[in-house]
Structure 1
């Protein structure tokens, strides 16, 4: 396959448990320590730990009226979008119809839905808030970003479970390559810290139950892994066609070279045991970029610390990178799993790794359990010279997505 036109990353905006700006986030990520803590919002549930965004005040960001209208997943996404636009020095008003918004949301925060369904279940339909739907439907975060920024191009959300953020970035790239727009604000936003989300995942035995030692709870690719830790956050990337970025003199932070997606067609919640779907997505991304496995110098793995998921992903990576798998990190070990936003956050962290030529460590890896060992970065950040990096995501329904990012 002939590689398609390259797309530039010209801006980043992040709101994560590790911080709200690139320098602070990178300092926290390279420290290599988990941010999981007891969560008072989850008190009395079977699993009461999470990685939460701190130091974030919606009232200060938006004022009372807008803050009250939005649910937390939209708060996070809107702030990330504002910061990405500012980082890119993007003037949307010049041609707003050529600026699209494509964001990934796995579901939503579920917080408002739980409150309103409770009122309905109590036989109080007239107490249900008229804002229940516009606060909660996943598409509203993209709509609110457009309202806030004035972007009038294509506008929608993508939902592919925990691959949503990665899929959104890939779809955004396709919009640019097709000529439908010149710029896309893309990424993902989600908070998994609702009591309903926590209860459901606990019942599925997907969460780590090391609640007495939360900082050791998430252990990707380790023999002692037993599930993920709930997280939250948002990341928005400004993507532009190369011509548009160059015409306006934008600072190109990275190139989005390739995108691949696939379905396991296997099981509602379990990955294919051999990781065939994940492998297919990675190979498609390489093919799309015109790259070989040997060109890749770093992998930001999906790495949720579930027994089946990590095994399947490791098998896929070891089949693709047969000669010398590049250094791998699993950043969910530090900031938890933000579900639909996770892939977008990890793509942004991959851009930062390319810029800094440094790979953050995986926390809590004591003894690797992947059959054949991969080169997983642990303990401390690793300086590495590399030009191309891979970021992977997998989700319920067997949905897989992969991105190839390259240094400018």
Structure 2
């Protein structure tokens, strides 16, 4: 089996629209959550979100093309351009050996909402409505941009989407179906319709305080805060990367994919599926008790997820769960839905490479049921040798990828 490494990364997030800004924000505990600026929230229960700020799509997309492209695709293209440039992969690989695995949990939600308004008010629909709305279009547009004619797969597993995308891309390269894959996820669902919908199913925090709405593993938590953006990685076969002198952030070494088969929105309280997912990823990666492990947790700040995820880590790791460094960067980025797994995979890779664990901010009153080391409020330095990132989605979807440090 072939080895797979990360050679390029790019991101558009609520705490920065490039990797350097995002990473520095997370390490320094910068909160990207604020009152919603993009529309009037007077009639909504929820008034806070983690919006992307100061995003300029014209850096990556021609102006005339913007009206044909939903915001989630704009985020995806921007992050992909960053990652591909960072990797230097173009020109070193055959088009047929380059793939794209990029997903979205909701697809073109902005387009769906605005076109529904137009239909009701004016009985008119844009001729670009369907290609702007469908969830595979980020993958399609990225493939077109970079002439990637290898395998192309848009994964849709709700909040687990982009962890599954990265994991499936890893296995595709490992098994010889491509030499490199541009992978990740994008989301732009901060609209009145989506906020109202998630609020109605009791998923969102109603505290409406930017500093205490997304507080993973804190006993005051009452729901997640919606975020948006994109995370894209370039995965590459190890020997191909070494031969061309590419820089390497980390090795993707394991991937777990299971289902609770329990409930459409609630996690299985026994955490059996989530624990098995972590076990599968760590076993494939060859991560042992001798490794110094960081886990970027799903850590949504919902009452059910955080205690269930804690139980999953204990089932998967046993007593070694207490030795792991664990944090939820959703305390700063909010929950980026289909983009969250890829962004958090990037964070896990940078943590291993740099030996720094970003914190879980806002963790002031720890829940007794969440008693692991969740790195409260301040980043710590640690000699990390391995990392994992977990995400769980509505429908019972569980995903985990495992990374290993690569020596220079």
Q: In the alignment, is the contact (CA less than 8 A) between 1:314 and 1:370 conserved in 2? A: no
- Structure 2 residue aligned with 1:322: 318
In the other structure, the counterpart of 1:272 is 268
Alpha-carbon shift at residue 164 of structure 1 (Å): 0.3
Please say if 1:134 is aligned against 2:127.
Answer: no
1:398 matched to 2:368: no
Distance in 1 (alpha carbons) for counterparts of 2:3 and 2:120 = 52
2:257 aligned partner = 261
Cα deviations by residue, 1:189-228 (Å, 9 ceiling, x for unpaired) = 11231221101011111111111x2122111011000011
Partner of 1:351: 349
Return the alpha-carbon distance in structure 1 between the equivalents of residues 158 and 62 of structure 2. Answer: 31
Residues 288 and 324 (structure 1 numbering): CA distance in 2 closer, same or farther, change over 3 Å?
A: closer
For residue 83 of structure 1, give the secondary structure of its aligned residue in structure 2.
Answer: helix
Whole-Å Cα distance in 2 between the matches of residues 27 and 273 of structure 1? 35
Structure 1 residues 293 and 52: alpha-carbon distance in aligned structure 2, compared to 1, 3 A threshold:
farther
User: Is the deviation greater in 60-69 or in 146-155?
Assistant: 60-69
In 2, the alpha carbon distance for the partners of 1:296 and 1:144 equals: 39
How far did 1:360 drift?
0.7
Distance 1:54 1:78 in 2: 17
Q: Could you tell me how far apart the structure 1 residues matched to 2:76 and 2:82 are?
A: 10
| Contact 1:220/1:333, CA 8 A, preserved across alignment | yes
Contact persistence 2:106–2:189 (CA under 8 A): no
| Alpha-carbon distance in 2 for matches of 1:89, 1:32 | 31
Picking from 331, 334, 353, the partner of 1:333 is 331
Match of 2:173 in 1: 176
Distance in 1 (alpha carbons) for counterparts of 2:46 and 2:229: 20
Q: Under a length normalisation based on structure 2, what TM-score does the superposition of the two structures give?
A: 0.95
Which residue of structure 2 aligns with residue 286 of structure 1? 282
Give the CA deviation at 1:32.
Answer: 1.6
Moved over 6 A (4+): none
Q: Identify the residue that residue 218 of structure 2 maps to in structure 1.
A: 222
> What does 1:7-22 align with in structure 2 at a 5 Å threshold?
7-22=4-19
Q: Which moved more, 1:199-208 or 1:84-93?
A: 84-93
Aligned match of 1:41: 38
SS in 2 for 1:272: coil
**Rounded Cα–Cα distance in structure 1 between residues aligned with 2:159 and 2:279:** 20
Worse overlay, 284-293 or 150-159: 284-293
The alignment partner of 1:298 has SS state of strand
Q: Distance in 2 between matches of 1:304 and 1:17?
A: 16
| 1:207 match | 204
What CA deviation, in whole Å up to 9, does each residue of 1:53-102 have, x standing for no partner? 11211234312112221100000000111110110111247411110000
TM-aligned CA distance change 1:192 to 1:123, over 3 Å:
closer
Query: 1:299 is paired with a residue of what secondary structure?
Result: strand
- SS of the equivalent of 1:185 reads strand
State whether structure 2 residue 148 is matched by structure 1 residue 151.
yes
Shift of 1:122: 5.2
CA 261–249 in structure 1, closer or farther in 2 if over 3 Å, else same: same
Unaligned stretches of 5+ residues in structure 1: none
Cα shift readout 1:144-191 (whole Å, capped 9, x = no counterpart): 001111111111200011000100001101111221110100011112
Report if aligned partners of 1:6, 1:242 keep a CA contact under 8 Å in 2: yes
For the structure 1 residues 233 and 392, does the alpha-carbon distance in structure 2 shift closer, same or farther, using more than 3 Å as the test?
same
TM-aligned CA deviation for residue 6 of structure 1:
2.2
State the secondary structure of the residue aligned to 1:322: helix
TM norm structure 1: 0.95
Q: Secondary structure at the match of 2:373?
A: coil
Shift of 1:397: 0.3
Gaps of 5+ in 2: none
Partner of residue 235, structure 2: 239
Deviation string 1:256-289 (CA, Å, 9 cap, x unpaired) is 0100010000000000012111101001101211
Change in CA separation of 1:92 and 1:194 when aligned onto 2, cut-off 3 Å: farther
How far did residue 121 of structure 1 move? 4.2
Secondary structure of the structure 2 residue equivalent to 1:106: coil
User: 1:28 is matched with which residue: 21, 25, 29?
Assistant: 25
Alpha-carbon contact 1:36-1:50 (below 8 Å) kept: yes
Q: How many residue pairs were aligned? A: 402
Counterparts of 1:31 and 1:8, CA distance in 2? 27
1:104 aligned residue: 103
